[in-house]
Each structure stands twice: as C-alpha cells, then as structure tokens.
Structure 1
Amino acid sequence: MNPLTTSHVIRLSKVLLTLFISLFGLLMLYNNFTDYSTNYEYISHILSMDTTNDQNKYRHRAITSTLLHHRIYWLIITLEVIYTLSCLLGTYYLYKNINASQEQFHEAKKPALIGLLIAIFLYYIGFQTIGTEWFNMDESKTWNYNDRAGHIVDFIFPLLIYIAIKIEH
C-alpha cells in the first residue's frame, strides 16, 4: 500500500473542490429548471429596477421588456450549464490523472479553470458588477442578490487560484 503523501492529498483536494463547485452548479441548475418562475421573478425585478431607491433618477437604466427578461435569464442559465459541465469535466480529468505526471495533472485542469472563469464572469461581472452598479440591485430590500453572489465569488476566486497553481508533484 502506498503511503498518502502531501502531494497526493493536494491533488485529491483539487479533485474534490472541483467536484464541490460542480455540485453547486448542478443544484443551481436544478432550481432554475424546477422553479423557473421564482428565479425568473428575481431577475425580472432586478432588471426592472422596480424595488430600488431613487427609481426615477436611474429609470433610464431599467429593462422592462419581459421578452428581454426571459432572454437574459436564459443567458444566465446557459452560462450556468457551461460552467457546471466544464467543472464536471474538469473533475473527471483531474481524477483520471490523479496519479499521472505533474505535467499531465496540470494539463487536466483546463476544463475546470474554464468553468471557474465562466462562473466568476457570471457571479462577479453579471451580478455583482452589472446587477449592483448598473441596476442598483443592492438598493432593493427584497430582490437583492449582491451578498449571495459575493459569497459565491468568495469561494470561486480562491478556488480558481488554488486549482491553477502548480504545487502538487
């Protein structure tokens, strides 16, 4: 029996953490598909800016078209599908290469890194930047996703760095 080395534990942790974010993505997708109307309503209120302070001051920024609300929501779901599938594929490749050479293991990270970048784009750029800074989502007491998106980014960004760095042997 081979002893469990620190390098092996590091590799295993990268596999498991990538699996964890994949499971998060799967749960997000499940919620979006099984409870479309509730999640759609969230996006609709954010885009409409109908529950923010100073509605008249920033009203020109609001998107009130229900067609665009649905399209933007489907864009969000599509990005969630892509990052989840990329992270699942990354989990598989990392696991498949867990005992491979350092170079092979490092190359196996590509799908996971792509998925994590898409997730950061969605939650940081989409929700925290555009949602908060353009649609003033943080000013709504009811339809505010800023803190939740922040918690997601607070997990994904360090995970991206951890997966990317080459510390395992």
Structure 2
Amino acid sequence: MNQLTTDQLTRYSKFILMAFFSFFGLLVMYSNFTDYSSNYEYVGHVLSMDTTRENTNITDRAITSPMLHHRIYWIIITLEVMYTVCCLIGTYQLLKNINASADAFHEAKKLSIVGLLIAIFIYYVCLQVVGVEWFNMDESQTWNAKDWARHIVDFILPLLIFVVLKIER
C-alpha cells in the first residue's frame, strides 16, 4: 500500500480547500441568478442607506437610483462569477499538477490566487470597507452583512496564505 507523505497531504489539502471555496462560489452564483430580487433588494437598501440612522453629515453618500443599484449589483455578480471561475480552473490546475514537480505545482496556483484576491476584494473591500465605512451598513438592523462578510474573509485570507506558500518539495 502506498504511504501518503506530508508533502502529498499538503498538496491535496490545498486542492481540497480550493474545491471547498469554489463550491461556495458556485452557491453564491446560483443564489444571485435564481434569487436576483432578494439580493438586489439588499444592495439597494445598503446603497440607499434607508435603514440606517439618520445622519445629515453622511446622507449625501447615499445612492438612491434604482438604475445604479442594478448596475452595481451586476458588477458584484460579475466579480463573483470571475472569482468562482478562476477558483474552479485553479482547483483543476492544482489537481492536474498534484504529482508534478514542486515548481510545476507552485505555478499551477496562479488562477487560485487570482480568484481568492478577487473574492477578498468583494467581501473585504466592497462589503466591509465600502459597505460598512461609507454606507454605514453595520447600523442597519435588517440589511447588515458585515459579520457574514467577515466570516468569509476569515476563511479566504488564511487560505490565500496557505495556497501561496511554496512548502511542497
């Protein structure tokens, strides 16, 4: 029987964790395409700032145009599709190179890294930075995804570090 080495296990774990995150991306895409109206409603409320406390110093930040809500939501959906596709192809590349040389396996990480960076942009920059700091999303009792986004980033960032590290031999 073939013994599984630590190096092989490390490679498989990178592949498996990327597969987990790719699956998450597929579920997000499915949700956005099959339940567009609920997710659009969320984006519209955050951008409109209509469920946060009234603060005249920042209400000029609100975007109340439904046309802009749709466009911004489609940008988000496009970015989610991009990260999911990159992660799926990256996961496939990791699997394809699972028994290759250390250099070949390391080079196979490119699309996984790109996908994870796009996902960090969405869940950290767009939701946690812009959503919370610019549109005060965290003050909304109903339309607050700060904690949800933080939990996703809490998975993505260590995964990105783990995937990028060249520890395979």
**In 2: Cα distance, 1:144 partner to 1:71 partner:** 20
Match of 1:9 in 2: 9
1:80 aligns with 2:85: no
- 5+ residue gaps in structure 1? none
- The corresponding residue for 2:66 is 66
Equivalent position of 1:18 in the other structure? 18
In 2, are the aligned partners of 1:127 and 1:149 still within 8 Å (CA)? Answer: yes
Q: Provide the C-alpha distance between the structure 1 equivalents of 2:55 and 2:79, rounded to a whole number of angstroms.
A: 29
| Aligned residue pair count | 169
Q: Unpaired segments of 5 or more residues in structure 2? A: none
After TM superposition, the structure 1 = structure 2 runs for residues 5-154 of structure 1, keeping only pairs within 5 Å, are: 5-154=5-154
Residue 108 of structure 1: CA displacement? Answer: 0.1
Could you tell me how far 1:28 is from its partner in structure 2? 0.3
Which residue in the other structure is 1:157 paired with?
A: 157
Letter in 1 for 2:17: L
Q: CA deviation at 1:140?
A: 0.4
C-alpha displacement of 1:148: 0.3
**Aligned residue identity for 1:101:** S
Partner letter of residue 133 of structure 2? Answer: E
> CA offset at residue 72 of structure 1?
0.3
Distance 1:67 1:5 in 2: 55
> Could you list the runs of 4 or more consecutive aligned residues of structure 1 that deviate by over 2 angstroms after TM superposition?
54-57
Contact 1:49 1:55 in 2 (8 A): no
Q: TM-score, normalised by structure 1?
A: 0.98
CA contact (8 A) 1:52 1:137 kept: yes
CA-atom RMSD, angstroms? 0.7
TM-score where L is the length of structure 2: 0.98
Q: Secondary structure, in 3 states, of the residue corresponding to 2:4?
A: coil
